[in-house]
């Protein structure tokens, strides 16, 4: 098996699963168009240097679901937090997305009404087969700007073998290894014989 190493946007936010709700007929979501490179804000991988992280650093997760939104051709993921952030990771070509096939993590700000509408709409449904984001009323959006979601923390994970762990660990500079050892979660940081690490 090839190693699957991923930088996970560690939405180090307190998880308290909830749900979502619909409302009026005016779209609060992006309208699919042919994107121009100048409008793209999403990214894949690490954020551009100097990109400010999303705030607050910690918040309560009130809803999570797999589903669809206007312009998607694959399953997408959505997270709604009590502070009003709607974070999405979509298989779509929208103007703000990272590229023609993938948006990267994007962030929108919802009003308290919008958070509650979404929470009640997707309550206890891990997979939602209808578009619940683009049918929200205008009052659901605090603003209509779609931004790149920049996490305040990251985690490194992989599901490979011990040999693959060791190989991946060997690519990291000494400073990165020190940081990972100091902030590990889960199994011990690798030594010369072991190589599973996390932050």
- Angstrom distances, CA of residue 139 to CA of 32, 68, 89, 119: 21, 21, 23, 15
196: containing domain: 160-199
End-to-end CA distance of the chain: 24
Per residue in 5-62, pLDDT tens? Answer: 333 333 333 222 222 333 333 334 444 444 445 689 999 888 888 999 999 999 999 9
d(CA 116, CA 11): 20
In a shared domain, residues 119 and 196: no
Task: Return the pLDDT at 14.
Answer: 28
Evaluate the CA torsion angle 115, 89, 122, 32 in order and state its sign: positive
The answer to whether the beta carbons of residues 198 and 184 sit under 8 Å apart is: yes
Per residue in 126-181, pLDDT tens? Answer: 899 888 988 889 999 998 899 999 998 877 666 677 777 788 788 888 888 888 77
- Domain assignment present for residue 1? The answer is no
In a shared domain, residues 71 and 116: yes
Question: At which residue do the structure tokens 């979601």 appear?
Answer: 149
d(CA 57, CA 193): 35
In a shared domain, residues 18 and 110: yes
In a shared domain, residues 139 and 46: yes
């Amino acid at each position: 098996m090839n190693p699957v190493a991923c930088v996970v946007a560690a939405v180090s936010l307190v998880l308290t699963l909830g749900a979502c709700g619909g409302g009026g007929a005016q779209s609060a979501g992006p309208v699919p168009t042919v994107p121009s490179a100048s409008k793209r804000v999403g990214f894949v991988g690490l954020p551009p240097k100097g990109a400010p992280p999303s705030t607050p650093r910690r918040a309560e997760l009130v809803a999570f679901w797999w589903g669809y939104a206007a312009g998607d051709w694959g399953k997408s993921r959505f997270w709604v937090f009590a502070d009003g952030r709607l974070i999405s990771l979509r298989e779509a070509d929208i103007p703000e997305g990272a590229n023609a096939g993938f948006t990267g993590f994007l962030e929108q700000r919802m009003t308290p009404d919008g958070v509650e509408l979404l929470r009640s709409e997707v309550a206890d449904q891990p997979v939602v087969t209808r578009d619940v984001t683009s049918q929200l009323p205008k009052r659901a959006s605090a603003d209509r700007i779609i931004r790149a979601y920049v996490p305040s923390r990251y985690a490194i994970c992989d599901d490979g073998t011990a040999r693959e762990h060791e190989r991946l660990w060997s690519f990291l500079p000494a400073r990165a290894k020190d940081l990972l050892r100091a902030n590990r979660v889960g199994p011990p940081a690798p030594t010369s014989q072991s190589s599973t690490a996390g932050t």
